[in-house]
Structure 1
């Protein structure tokens, strides 16, 4: 028999899972978080829950917020269980569940007045974001804020009724300035190089479109610390809900599954204060960039590298991809030969050892991470996780056989069928034009590289074009398995 998750049911739940040791009634809001998805609830919310359990900083609880239709679904499910979440941590040798209570409210999406009023509350000292790589209105090729995006243009024309996260953040900051309330810190928790700087560009850039003086005030007064976040967190489906009900006897409408490992590295730039997260394992450093490069290139780049060959070979789970000798060896060679050599040194870190840890994490069979999740949103992920390594190698006059192969595998994937002929279901906002370009590239490989907003200068490099052409031609003629083997044998493109 299951117990429906709620504050009133925690005594019953604790027989099977950990529960908060603090009284939720004692928590007070200090953070508004946009993007209450699985990663946030497995990462930032867990760190705060650990801190509250240790008896510290109970005035830093989270209030959720969002702008998408899916956010309303999440809000309704979490509200029905008092904003509690069952987090199931699964390592190769251990599994455990605990209930987190760091979130105390979730603002209704679309309630602009209510969200702005909460952002203007002096108690709110941090506004954090997990809105995915594609949510920052970045031009993929240049990597800079795009002020011409229709959603940004609309918010600039109607700043009193914003529809984007950044429009709401700007409105909240303006309300604070008008009332002489110090501005909150804006903290990105997304996998983007220089995520604080990118967030600053979006917030200030939007404000500058309609009030340049206010944009200057933002530049001078608002903090945007850079940070690196890491925890593999798959999507929640019927499988995960069923496991929580069967193994832990908890009825949770949206539990979170994740690996045991987690990491958070932050620049310590919080003028209005911050929770003492260093007490629960967060690293505060002067410069996040080295850690960021390491994680984004090796882990996120690794995910992007294995996603498409695995999909083309009809592999569903990430750990199954790592059990395929060709994919495991492909990833190891790509990382060792092309990715790791262009990563700057990281304090007190051996990059080879870091990759071994990543390899172990990818091989974890318990968390059920999927290839479709890794393959989604490639038009935003490739320019951030793969192409920068290619650009660095080209600038140094070094070869890009493996990195060009990753792009060719992505192109082959967007032709729409696996090697066995099964249809591929895409999850990318640019899917239509990607597929059109991928189909045209079967005859003219340059048709895919012509997506200049994605490939940028990399596609203009003769060596990258040559390697991409060779790889894509081989994929179509010989298939994925044979192409990977040729790469491993050092014969791709000969």
Structure 2
């Protein structure tokens, strides 16, 4: 077997995009769409300059530049694997603590889009309020040194200031991260940070820079020895950073690109003014579904997502929570059937070739619960219904954060706030109100007596009887 190579002359590509965050998702998603567009002979002036702001990004730069910025993408279809060499990126900007090379690159006139995959936690959002947090230490630091910022948004603000002063049109800021209203979140972070040091610049950004919202979707697990062995089977033993992913991918975008954009609709991207509906569907059903299966799976010592889906109790739990508590509060996007989408999600989770891990899905619950699970709890409560399954899923997150699974195995730290969460989970074992009293996660839900009582009952059942009995109790209710 050998991978397919780019079907275009990469020497003809010129940059139009700076992308910050060259993780697996970007290389399996945005880069693949652009690779397909270039293969049509279209928009060759929209190639990617890779970028990053963390020390790990420097290692990725070294790895990718050693192979001429080609990425190996292996699609894991149960009927057979296929590999592609993706050539949409033509260089990787030097990674440097003050981000001067990145700011300089974003200041180039031909750069018309700056895109981001920096994880849900990279937008400096207060989980309880959903708003930009100007008191975050990283934001305070960038406000004090706006010309030598440490964060992606600090670099974006500095580059936009350069372009305004030089009389250049601003680039569009395109978030490709998996969070509600990602374009709005990017705007809040950019404008909010600028306002801390230069209010006039903040006003200019708010008035002139576009931040389209987007819904992105593709499962792309972390790379390890298994994935490198797959690349070797395709004759690419020297690639240390191959990407594996499922065959499915989706990208839904608002069409707000005043400085132009590539014709991505020609390769399957949906442009619509109803991104929020697609986004809500995906975040509640797919990402919420991840949490529903990952925490009981991890507590039981199940390593892989498809193995959790093979557990009859976990699969039935997911199916019922989807049907009874999530789908009724999700408005269907135009032309889509929610039960069909839910069945597609179940099939995607069950794909054994992906070998996605429950640990990856459990990561960063302090950021993910407020975005993927708690909104459905709130909406269901607003309908006068107690969402027992979703509350149980959140109680199992608390149980997971206790730090030891049901086999007695220690759970390695798996959240930026792991130490605090573990301490709180241990207190909550005998006082559940301590857990839901975390205002930054649950907001005012702790004041809802019905929710608080249901959470206490769920957590007590998880501890006294185990997650299997707790899920079976819900299934029989």
For normalisation by structure 2, the TM-score amounts to 0.98
Do the aligned residues in 2 keep the contact of 1:208 with 1:215 (CA within 8 Å)? yes
For 2:443, the equivalent position in structure 1 comes to 456
1:142 is aligned to 129
Which structure 2 residues correspond to residues 364-375 of structure 1 after superposition, within 5 A? 364-375=351-362
1:343 aligns with 2:330: yes
Deviation at 1:249, TM superposition (A): 4.5
Partner of 1:282: 269
1:155 aligns with 2:147: no
Moved more, 331-340 or 457-466: 457-466
Q: Is the contact between residue 83 and residue 234 of structure 2 (CA under 8 Å) also seen in structure 1?
A: no
Moved over 3 A (4+): 247-250
Secondary structure of 1:251's aligned partner: coil
Instruction: Return the offset for 1:157.
Output: 1.2
Determine if contact 2:175/2:213 at 8 Å carries over to the other structure: yes
- Whether the 8 Å CA contact 2:195–2:201 is kept in 1: the answer is yes
Provide the secondary structure at the position in 1 that maps to 2:285. Answer: helix
User: Are 1:18 and 2:4 matched, yes or no?
Assistant: yes
Q: Is 2:189 aligned against 1:205? A: no
In the alignment, what sits opposite 1:97? Answer: 83
Counterpart residue number, 2:19: 33
CA distance in 2, matches of 1:222, 1:89: 36
Q: Distance in 1 between matches of 2:44 and 2:450?
A: 56
* Residue from 112, 117, 124 that aligns with 2:104: 117
Specify the alignment match of 1:352 in structure 2: 339
- In structure 2, the residue matched to 1:47 is 33
Q: Is the 8 A contact 2:285 2:322 kept in 1?
A: yes
Q: 2:388 aligns with which of 387, 401, 406?
A: 401
SS in 1 for 2:83: strand
Partners of 2:53 and 2:99 within 8 A in 1: no
Q: Which runs of 5+ in 2 are unaligned?
A: none
Q: Is the 8 A contact 1:390 1:458 kept in 2?
A: no
Structure 1: how far apart are the matches of 2:121 and 2:99? Answer: 22
- Secondary structure (helix, strand or coil) at the match of 1:64 reads strand
Residue-by-residue CA offset, 1:211-230 (whole Å, 9 max, x unaligned) = 11111111110000000000
Instruction: Please name the residue that 2:247 is paired with.
Output: 260
Alpha-carbon deviation of 1:247? 4.2
Task: Return the alpha-carbon distance in structure 2 between the equivalents of residues 463 and 80 of structure 1.
Answer: 58
Residue matched to 2:178? 191
Give the superposition deviation at 1:124: 0.2
SS, match of residue 303 in structure 2: coil
Counterparts of 1:130 and 1:112 in 2: how far apart (Å)? 17
Q: Is the 8 A contact 2:274 2:333 kept in 1?
A: no
Separation in 2, partners of 1:53, 1:425 = 44
Partner of 2:444, secondary structure, is helix
In structure 2, C-alpha distance between the alignment counterparts of 1:342 and 1:281, rounded to whole Å: 28
Listed one character per residue, the Cα deviations across residues 297-336 of structure 1 (whole Å, up to 9, x for unaligned) are 0000000111110001110010000000000000000010
Once the 2 structures are TM-superposed, how far is the Cα of residue 113 of structure 1 from its aligned partner? 2.1
Contact 1:207/1:214, CA 8 A, preserved across alignment: yes
- Could you list the per-position Cα deviations for residues 321-376 of structure 1 after superposition, in whole angstroms to 9, with x for gaps in the alignment? 00000000000000101011001121001100000000000000001111110010
Does the aligned pair in 1 maintain the 2:229–2:237 contact within 8 Å?
A: no
Given that 1:265 and 1:282 are in contact with CA atoms closer than 8 Å, whether structure 2 keeps it comes out as yes
Q: Quote the Cα distance in structure 1 between the aligned partners of 2:294 and 2:94.
A: 35
**Superposition pairs for residues 161-176 of structure 1, below 5 Å?**
161-176=148-163
Question: In structure 1, how many angstroms separate the alpha carbons of the residues matched to 2:236 and 2:155?
Answer: 39
Alpha carbons of structure 1 residues 30 and 310: separation in structure 2 relative to 1, 3 Å: same
Structure 2 residue 120 is the aligned partner of structure 1 residue 128: no
Question: Is the CA contact (8 Å cut-off) linking 1:38 and 1:233 kept in structure 2?
Answer: yes
Shift of 1:243: 1.6
Does the CA contact (< 8 Å) of 1:140 and 1:454 recur in 2?
Answer: yes
In structure 1, the residue matched to 2:71 is 85
Query: In 1, distance between residues paired with 2:416 and 2:469?
Result: 31
Measure, in 2, the Cα distance between the counterparts of 1:117 and 1:235: 31
Structure 2 matches for 1:201-280, cutoff 5 A? 201-280=188-267
Q: Report deviation, 1:146.
A: 0.3
TM normalised by structure 1 equals: 0.95
State how far apart, in whole Å, the 2-side matches of 1:459 and 1:96 are.
Answer: 49
In the aligned structure 2, how far is the partner of 1:458 from the partner of 1:257? 39
Distance 2:340 2:233 in 1: 37
What residue ranges of structure 1 are gaps of 5+ in the alignment? 1-14
Q: Distance in 2 between matches of 1:459 and 1:236?
A: 39
Q: 2: CA distance between counterparts of 1:105 and 1:164?
A: 20
